[in-house]
């Protein structure tokens, strides 16, 4: 990795380690710096390994417990152990393929026992299982597995659409519940307000009628005391005639284009008064003289 060497000497960079052989046999590990070799004694620099952390992305396709095919993207970060660099140099010809094969084996053995939802929730557990297995296997070859990241879980496109539809339906259902509760509260409040308004309106009408009754009684008494020789009946007839003409005046002054045809004339007012009085007298007679039973 950037080291410079020739037949007699070699310069090894920092974060690297050299493999020195003598007559084709491993001799020692060369640390960073300048090293001299005697080719006449069979010494040579066979290779240089980097001790930096390397990253390997592995995409695994497998099936979950609920028969959903998913792709898992794993990022494996590993490095060569400096003290065991000779094992890494001589034991493995292609360490990346070896790591990838073990990742395939562990993931495809562990994920089929999990549902898709559980896989999303516990993806760190899958990474932990892969890490433990790789540390056990690759440690014997001079490699250290620093960390494993479960970068992405990609289900089949049809499954993703179905999951989005389920999520949307749940949110719409929740929104409908909230909307119904709001409408219910609004209807209850509206009914309470209407009941309160009717109650207050009833109290107002009762007070108005009580005031009218008290006013009529006072007017009758005052008029009877002021004008001698008048009876309560005559005073009541005069008040009703006055109210009748006030009503006619109010209808004429109204701005609305409404036409009302009513009998007009003082005689009709007297007829109305007589009808009210006769009705009250007949009701009193029916209460005093009950009909004989058969």
Predicted confidence at residue 285, as pLDDT, reads: 64
> How far is 3 from 181, CA to CA, in rounded Å?
74
Predicted confidence at residue 279, as pLDDT, reads: 55
pTM: 0.53
**Residue 293 DSSP code:** P
Average pLDDT per run of 10 along the chain, which is 294 residues long? 61 87 87 84 86 90 86 90 87 87 89 86 87 87 88 81 78 84 89 89 82 72 66 66 69 61 57 60 57 47
- Listed in sequence order, the residues at least 6 apart from 288 whose beta carbon sits closer than 8 Å to its beta carbon are none
Which structure tokens are listed for 139?
Answer: 């440690």
Q: What is the CA 220 to chain-centroid distance, rounded?
A: 73
> Structural domain boundaries of the chain?
5-50, 54-155
Strand (E) or helix (H) holding 54: strand 54-63
Superfamily of domain 54-155, CATH level 4 = Band 7 domain (3.30.479.30)
The answer to whether 239 and 216 are in contact (CB under 8 A) is yes
């Amino acid at each position: 990795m950037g080291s410079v060497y020739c037949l007699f000497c070699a310069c090894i960079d920092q974060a690297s380690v050299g493999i020195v052989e003598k007559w084709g046999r491993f001799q020692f590990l060369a640390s960073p710096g300048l090293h001299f070799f005697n080719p006449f004694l069979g010494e040579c620099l066979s290779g240089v390994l980097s001790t930096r952390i390397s990253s390997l992305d592995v995409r695994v396709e497998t099936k979950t417990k609920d028969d959903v095919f998913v792709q898992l993207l794993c990022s494996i970060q590993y490095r060569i152990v400096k003290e065991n660099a000779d094992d890494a140099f001589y034991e493995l010809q292609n360490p990346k393929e070896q790591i990838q094969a073990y990742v395939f084996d562990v993931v495809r053995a562990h994920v089929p026992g999990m549902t898709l939802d559980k896989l999303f929730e516990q993806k760190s557990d899958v990474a932990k299982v892969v890490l433990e297995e790789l540390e056990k296997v690759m440690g014997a070859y001079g490699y250290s597995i620093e960390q494993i990241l479960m970068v992405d879980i990609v289900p089949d496109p049809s499954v993703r659409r179905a999951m989005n539809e389920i999520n949307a339906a749940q949110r719409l259902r929740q929104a409908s519940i909230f909307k119904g509760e709001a409408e219910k509260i609004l209807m209850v409040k509206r009914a309470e307000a209407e009941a309160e308004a009717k109650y207050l309106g009833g109290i107002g009408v009762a007070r108005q009628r009580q005031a009218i009754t008290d006013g009529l009684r006072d007017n009758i008494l005052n008029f009877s005391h002021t004008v001698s020789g008048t009876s309560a009946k005559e005073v009541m007839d005069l008040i009703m005639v006055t109210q009748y003409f006030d009503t006619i005046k109010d209808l004429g002054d109204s701005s609305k284009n409404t036409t009302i045809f009513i009998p007009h004339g003082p005689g009709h007012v007297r007829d109305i008064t007589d009808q009210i009085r006769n009705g009250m007298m007949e009701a009193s007679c029916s209460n005093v003289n009950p009909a004989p039973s058969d």
